Structure 1
Amino acid sequence: MKTSVLALVAAAASLAAQAQPSLPATPKRPVTDTYFGQQVTDNYRWLEDLKSPETQAWFKAQGDYTAQVMAGIPGRDSLINTLVRYDALKAARITGILRRGGRYFYKKTLPSENVGKLYYRTGTTGPEVLLFDPSTYAKGKSYAVSYFLPSEDGRRLALGVAEGGAEISTIRVLNVDTKKLYPESIYPSWFGVSGWTPDGKGFIYTTQQSGDTKSMNMLLNTRSLYHTVGTPVAQDRELFSRAKYKQLPIKPEDLIYVTYSEDFKYIMGNLGGVDRRMNAFIAPATELLQPTINWKRLAAPADSVLGSVVLHDRLYLLSTKRALKGRILVTDARQPNLKTATVALPMEKRKIETISAAKDYLLATLNDGLNTTAKQFSLRTNRWEDVPLPLTGSAEMQVLEPTSNDCLLYLTSWKQPPTIYTYNPVTKEAKVSPFDTPVTYPGLADLVVEEVEVPGLDGTPVPLSIIYNKKVKRDGRAVCFMTGYGAYGISADPYFSSRTLALLNQGVIVAETHVRGGSEKGQAWHKAGMKTTKPNTWRDFIACGEYLVKNGYTSPQHLIGEGTSAGGILIGRAITERPDLFAAAISNVGLSNMLRFENTPNGPNNAKEFGTVKDSVECRALYEMDAFLHVQPGTNYPAVISVGGMNDPRVIAWQPGKFAAALQAASTSGKPVLMQVNFDNGHFTEDKKVAFRNFANMYAFALWQAGHPNFQPSPVAVK
């Protein structure tokens, strides 16, 4: 018996060795930099040159290797089929609903379609009219609509079209009545159209110097311009830029955009980016086309304003200054002065998340750290009232058009698929919208949701959401998929995902961590996970993993950790600090080499969140959060799949690439380290066929390495 088992193992190993491709070689070419007296060696600096034929060949070889490994994982194709089947259960996915001139505009994607098409209908029950199909935009190429905005009369539509999963788009203009495109096209524009003039003759948009996602000029010195439909783009009028308004504190990395106020009486210019605090100016809308706009300060970053709306010449501001969970201030829009602003809604236990304006109401959403509530302020009665939400979970309020009181409510939770409601603040009634497409998914009734607080490594209570099928036993043998983010003050509010459901219905426990760096507990929670306090982010994640193990949900042999984008810091540093805690890790388009992030197109703006190498204290913090530089040779690392998109304008592909290269050279665990390269993808993609493949690959790899029985190779029979 013993001999037959050994023979079986040997035969399986031999077969695996013959079937598996060889891992591409990655030469080390050390480059040493000195930061404030500290030397740092980078063995893979050469991978940063994405235009080098050698680097391109390396990424292709890594991608080919990963694709071959993926093809051999049992359960991968079945998982893709599950995602396709779940997608087909919903009759259509409708997003981006806007009403202008009595017409409702929206994007709709059918189960049989990879990307959405643009439609409109007159009224909620009028016949549906197809406006734009991106699949017919250019033969032999794959395009998607990245954004769209109708004119106020509903007769024209500005839209962005992007190729190959990219986000850098070309602005086109559509005549709604004839469904024909106007001849002009504007490229490049990541941030698109921010507003039409009330007469519908032209629109405001933001453009940048380059559409090359590998160019350091891509996001430097952006500009806001005005375009009159039917005129040459070269004649567009510059509204707001660093070059034109040298007297204003505009930095090269600021992302510039101009919007109208809700009543079209004012225009607002904002210096945006990853810092959510407004750095904004205001002027009368009558100055839009004047040679020079007399911009007045609306809010500086020190004012900690996170949102603003105008109602009847009153400027309402959501500010966290001296109120870390937010309060709403009000001042005169004609002469804004935050020093003399009065309090319209004081801070309370719940943080104020958003404000918006209908014709006669100010609307606000609030959050207790998990669930959303809402309030409305009537200009007629001068009173705040609670908005009765139909469901508990995450809620978003959207005013259909600022000249009316008609609103939409979007509601979802861990177990509730997104549902669209119409809401009337006058009657306070919410009804399921005609645009909602109800769906019934398998397994929802069997799901259990637990909300707990876990002691962080420093004793701070960290919220943790745990979702699983009621049949799963807490004996430490279940596979657990634990994910986190923790950046920019973005909270992990409850949401429904059919991709997550595909895991849950295979007996996987899903754990959503609410680590510091988000804002679940207000702005203090964000500040406790940025720059010098960033280690709290991954250490909170580690604490959540330890809790799940200690309480029998899973074990280190079955724990998967995942982080996406800025969550790459979280997962990268979690596995380099506690490699023993995880069976597998997914770094999905993850930031992994923070000391070099400023050397990427999206890096300078992100220094506001993570820090700069130009400051000695912040430079040290960047080194601490750099997963690539914390990879140590001779360490038993978990299995890792690192993912990069070659069209990604946010996280350049060499960030996850260098991390994968370092792990492949350093790990002594014998577990695989893969670099998945998406040549038809960016940071993400709307294309369902590509997205399903991408996520199925990541999940199947991690489930294989975490011991899920449906993803293990079959035993080899030996006679």
Structure 2
Amino acid sequence: MSHAISRRDFVQWAAASSLIPSVATATQSKKIAPASISLPPKARIATVVDKYWGVEVSDDYRWMETQPKTAEWDSWLRAQADYARANLDALPERAAMLKRLELFSSDADSLRNVLPAGGRIFIEKRLKGEQAFKVFVRDSLQSAERVLIDPDVHRQSEDVPATVDYFVPSPTGKHIAYGVSIGGSEISTTYIKNVSTGDTVEITKILSRGSGWNSDGSVFFYYRVRADAVPGSPDFGRGGSCWMHRLGTTPNTDREVFRNSEGPDFDGMEDDLPVVRGALGSNWILGMHLLNGNDISQVYVTKAQDLLDGKPQWRKIAGKSAGVKAIDLIGDTIYALAKGRESRGEIVKIHTDKEDFASGKIVLPAKQGVLNALVAARDGIYVADLARGLYGLQRISLTDQVERLHLPQAGSVWGMFGALDEDGPWYNMDDLTIPGTTYKVNAQNLHSQKHQFERPLGFDVSRFKTTRIDAPTRDGVKVPLEILHRKDITLNRRNPLLMIAYGAYGTILDQGFSSANMAFLDAGGVIVYAHVRGGGELGDAWHLAGKKATKPNTWRDAIDSAEHLIKLGWTDKKHLALWGTSAGGIMVGRAITERPDLFAVAIGEVGAFNVLRFELTANGPGNDVEFGTVKKEDEFHSLLKMDAYHAVKNGVRYPACLLITGANDLRVEPWQVGKFAARMQAASTNVPGALLRVNYETGHFATSRKNGLEKMADIFSFVLHHTK
């Protein structure tokens, strides 16, 4: 199983949700003193009018979308970056907040995941005081750790960070494949390293993602984009395929093994990322077509030797309607976690040679809660489930016996990985105000043993607490809320409250413990995670209730949740902030344009604010499944309703807005944020309307500890300043 960025970054197994590189240069924007800038730089207005299904839509800043990027765009973006930087640096709360963030994070390591393979243990973490996550290895549990993958080795300059985008140990633990990108671009170069000797082979510079290995670890499979794909073009991610590299051969002899749209009874997809992987001890290979780089849309199987011989006989196991969320292979048996008859998930057991999803056996239906993750170990399948914000674990034995594990604490289960040559998986647990711990399951008694792979925190978390409540909405649905706060807080309606919501793709908003959050709580703030519709917290039905035509539920759930918090006395309108990231840009953008009076502050981070134009970006294909397409009349009207850019009205006092983009973002192109910022600056009576924070060293995610701390200092101090 491949490992990408952790769940804390809304990314799941295997690949990025987009495959477009940005043409922005990864150079640092210079700072200008606050006194030299009084107003944000104006954006040129050049109105373009489009007509969709008889509706005229005006767009004043279409010129920002031009590919390749123009000198005018670059000049305006850098001027915006300088203006925002000057204003953020001048916030009187920022210096103190940065010190708090340093205090709460300086003594700690940051662990992402622990993966077993071939008796070895692979650990991804960032050590105290260091900037980048590295991959370490232990040859056994008792042996010392050593650095295996250091992304800094691949840096092209001192100013531009490098990032490990993914790593995939072979099932024998003898080799590890990994991808490294520069400046947050996620344009991975793929390498394979011999774990014992350190010898490394570069496989391809073409944007690639790890797919998996064959059963004995002699062949590595990886996805890569077309060799002739043009960066920034709408078809950049189309036509990619899965390739194989046989150890000991030169990469220029690698060949395609699973192509776009390959397989009998293939159901057409505008966006298709084909991947394959095998499993230790299995004679079979799984072939999967991923939607949006992540969601398993269609599943095939073939004999491994046939594939290696170049003569695969693919047989379809599951199609789009199955709603497969995760899948694993033990011998000649497939276990699939699918959305299920009741939409909360079920585990289906399928024999590779004669069955498919429809004829397979349901070995675990969801009862209470939602089935959320699946992983295979030698003794069976382990399944994580979620109910009211708390996780549980169950084991399905190879004879289909289901047993519930005894978890050592309450909270979230994440980073669960197993190996087919050992019993019981590794997993991590934390809660929103309780730091993470790594555990290994004892398969004999189904208890878990604690293991320490990181330094303990240097501060006391007992002062903080998570309170869980439900917020009623206008249509009678109850939205789960998780409230992080100091235990000694007083409900005086003056607490700076930062509500965070997402609500898209059926993704569960599960941030887990964050030392940065503790810094905001220590300063008297309150953080609320609102599990609005469009996410997967309550199953597939919850997702469908915030998708396409039902998308208004997403931002109205946020509005109704905010009003409920005010009613209970947690805060008031003058002290309320709302934060949305990526697809959460729809949530925050439409919440503040529909109810500008309700919020004092809005944070829009790498947000999709102009979804009417999103399908025309290189990351657009495939997202029509989630949001819709202007090619269909009903979906156009839904898109227009969820487009925050077009919802802005002149002469309205909107909340103080901090809008954030990374110049190398390949998922939500910077112009999506730039257009919204320009519109807010021109329309809002709340001068300056919006700050547009631009980081030239990052893309969709922060690339270093320094980047992350500075971003959080900006966000938290901005919130505190505007909720005085």
Structure number with greater Rg is: 1
Q: Distance in 1 between matches of 2:262 and 2:338?
A: 29
How far 1:440 moved relative to its partner? 4.5
User: Does the CA contact (< 8 Å) of 1:306 and 1:320 recur in 2?
Assistant: yes
User: Does the CA contact (< 8 Å) of 1:225 and 1:240 recur in 2?
Assistant: yes
Q: Distance in 2 between matches of 1:645 and 1:89?
A: 28
User: Does the CA contact (< 8 Å) of 1:628 and 1:659 recur in 2?
Assistant: yes
How far 1:604 moved relative to its partner? 1.1
How far 1:263 moved relative to its partner? 4.0
Q: Distance in 1 between matches of 2:231 and 2:84?
A: 24
Helix, strand or coil: the match of 1:309? strand
| 1:259-295, Cα deviation, whole Å (9 max, x unpaired) | 2146432211111124735311111112222233111
Which residue of structure 2 lines up, in the alignment, with residue 486 of structure 1? 503
User: Does the CA contact (< 8 Å) of 1:399 and 1:406 recur in 2?
Assistant: no
Task: State the structure with bigger RCO (CA 8 A, min sep 6), 1 or 2.
Answer: 2
User: Does the CA contact (< 8 Å) of 2:506 and 2:540 recur in 1?
Assistant: yes
Is 1:568 the counterpart of 2:593 in the alignment? no
How far 1:68 moved relative to its partner? 0.8
Which amino acid letter does the alignment assign opposite residue 70 of structure 1? L
Q: Distance in 1 between matches of 2:370 and 2:135?
A: 36
Q: Distance in 1 between matches of 2:502 and 2:335?
A: 30
Q: Distance in 1 between matches of 2:200 and 2:279?
A: 28
User: Does the CA contact (< 8 Å) of 1:370 and 1:494 recur in 2?
Assistant: no
Helix, strand or coil: the match of 1:126? coil
User: Does the CA contact (< 8 Å) of 1:242 and 1:250 recur in 2?
Assistant: no
Is 1:219 the counterpart of 2:219 in the alignment? no
Which amino acid letter does the alignment assign opposite residue 561 of structure 1? L
Within 5 Å, give how 1:701-716 maps onto structure 2. 701-707=718-724
Which amino acid letter does the alignment assign opposite residue 110 of structure 1? L
Is 1:510 the counterpart of 2:527 in the alignment? yes
| 1:129-156, Cα deviation, whole Å (9 max, x unpaired) | 2223222334525212221222233332
Within 5 Å, give how 1:79-478 maps onto structure 2. 79-90=97-108, 92-138=109-155, 140-141=157-158, 142-182=161-201, 184-190=202-208, 192-209=209-226, 214-242=232-260, 248-261=266-279, 263-274=281-292, 276-379=295-398, 382-396=400-414, 398-442=416-460, 444-478=461-495
Residues 17 and 391 from structure 1, CA distance in 2 versus in 1: closer, same or farther, beyond 3 angstroms? closer
User: Does the CA contact (< 8 Å) of 1:262 and 1:357 recur in 2?
Assistant: no
Count of residues in correspondence between the two structures: 687
Residues 96 and 452 from structure 1, CA distance in 2 versus in 1: closer, same or farther, beyond 3 angstroms? closer
Which amino acid letter does the alignment assign opposite residue 283 of structure 2? K
Which amino acid letter does the alignment assign opposite residue 274 of structure 2? I
Q: Distance in 2 between matches of 1:21 and 1:585?
A: 21
| 1:57-101, Cα deviation, whole Å (9 max, x unpaired) | 1111100111111111112133223223322222x3333322333
Q: Distance in 1 between matches of 2:484 and 2:133?
A: 30
Which residue of structure 1 lines up, in the alignment, with residue 712 of structure 2? 695
Q: Distance in 2 between matches of 1:446 and 1:127?
A: 35
Structure 2: unaligned runs, 5 residues or longer: 1-32
Which residue of structure 1 lines up, in the alignment, with residue 643 of structure 2? 626
Q: Distance in 2 between matches of 1:375 and 1:118?
A: 29
User: Does the CA contact (< 8 Å) of 2:241 and 2:258 recur in 1?
Assistant: yes
Is 1:73 the counterpart of 2:88 in the alignment? no
Q: Distance in 1 between matches of 2:511 and 2:75?
A: 41
Q: Distance in 1 between matches of 2:89 and 2:110?
A: 30
User: Does the CA contact (< 8 Å) of 1:452 and 1:463 recur in 2?
Assistant: yes
User: Does the CA contact (< 8 Å) of 2:263 and 2:314 recur in 1?
Assistant: no
Within 5 Å, give how 1:470-619 maps onto structure 2. 470-493=487-510, 495-619=512-636
Residues 346 and 594 from structure 1, CA distance in 2 versus in 1: closer, same or farther, beyond 3 angstroms? same
How far 1:207 moved relative to its partner? 0.3
TM-score with structure 2 length normalisation? 0.91
Helix, strand or coil: the match of 1:123? coil
Helix, strand or coil: the match of 1:449? strand
How far 1:393 moved relative to its partner? 1.0
Which amino acid letter does the alignment assign opposite residue 395 of structure 1? V
Question: In structure 2, which of residues 662, 669, 676 is the aligned counterpart of residue 659 of structure 1?
Answer: 676
CA RMSD, 1 decimal: 2.1
Helix, strand or coil: the match of 1:162? strand
How far 1:230 moved relative to its partner? 4.4
How far 1:25 moved relative to its partner? 1.3
Which residue of structure 2 lines up, in the alignment, with residue 3 of structure 1? none
How far 1:250 moved relative to its partner? 4.8
Helix, strand or coil: the match of 2:88? helix
Which residue of structure 1 lines up, in the alignment, with residue 665 of structure 2? 648
Helix, strand or coil: the match of 2:297? coil
Is 1:24 the counterpart of 2:41 in the alignment? yes
Helix, strand or coil: the match of 1:204? strand
Q: Distance in 2 between matches of 1:469 and 1:571?
A: 26
How far 1:164 moved relative to its partner? 0.9
Which residue of structure 2 lines up, in the alignment, with residue 8 of structure 1? none
User: Does the CA contact (< 8 Å) of 2:114 and 2:415 recur in 1?
Assistant: no
How far 1:685 moved relative to its partner? 2.3
Which residue of structure 1 lines up, in the alignment, with residue 77 of structure 2? 59
Moved more, 487-496 or 200-209: 487-496
**Percent identical residues:** 34
Helix, strand or coil: the match of 1:572? helix
Residues 495 and 130 from structure 1, CA distance in 2 versus in 1: closer, same or farther, beyond 3 angstroms? closer
Q: Distance in 1 between matches of 2:163 and 2:322?
A: 38
Which amino acid letter does the alignment assign opposite residue 517 of structure 2? T
How far 1:398 moved relative to its partner? 2.6
Q: Distance in 2 between matches of 1:367 and 1:502?
A: 28
Which amino acid letter does the alignment assign opposite residue 162 of structure 2? Y
Q: Distance in 2 between matches of 1:694 and 1:230?
A: 44
TM-score with structure 1 length normalisation? 0.91
Moved more, 659-668 or 316-325: 316-325
Which amino acid letter does the alignment assign opposite residue 718 of structure 2? F
User: Does the CA contact (< 8 Å) of 1:254 and 1:271 recur in 2?
Assistant: yes
Question: In structure 1, which of residues 26, 30, 36 is the aligned counterpart of residue 53 of structure 2?
Answer: 36
User: Does the CA contact (< 8 Å) of 1:124 and 1:434 recur in 2?
Assistant: no
Which residue of structure 1 lines up, in the alignment, with residue 15 of structure 2? none
Residues 470 and 434 from structure 1, CA distance in 2 versus in 1: closer, same or farther, beyond 3 angstroms? closer
Which amino acid letter does the alignment assign opposite residue 415 of structure 1? T
Moved more, 340-349 or 209-218: 209-218
How far 1:403 moved relative to its partner? 1.9
Q: Distance in 1 between matches of 2:492 and 2:620?
A: 44
User: Does the CA contact (< 8 Å) of 1:189 and 1:207 recur in 2?
Assistant: yes
| 1:381-411, Cα deviation, whole Å (9 max, x unpaired) | x421111001111113634312221321210
Which amino acid letter does the alignment assign opposite residue 630 of structure 1? A
Which amino acid letter does the alignment assign opposite residue 155 of structure 1? K
Residues 245 and 369 from structure 1, CA distance in 2 versus in 1: closer, same or farther, beyond 3 angstroms? same
Q: Distance in 2 between matches of 1:153 and 1:593?
A: 47
Which amino acid letter does the alignment assign opposite residue 88 of structure 1? S
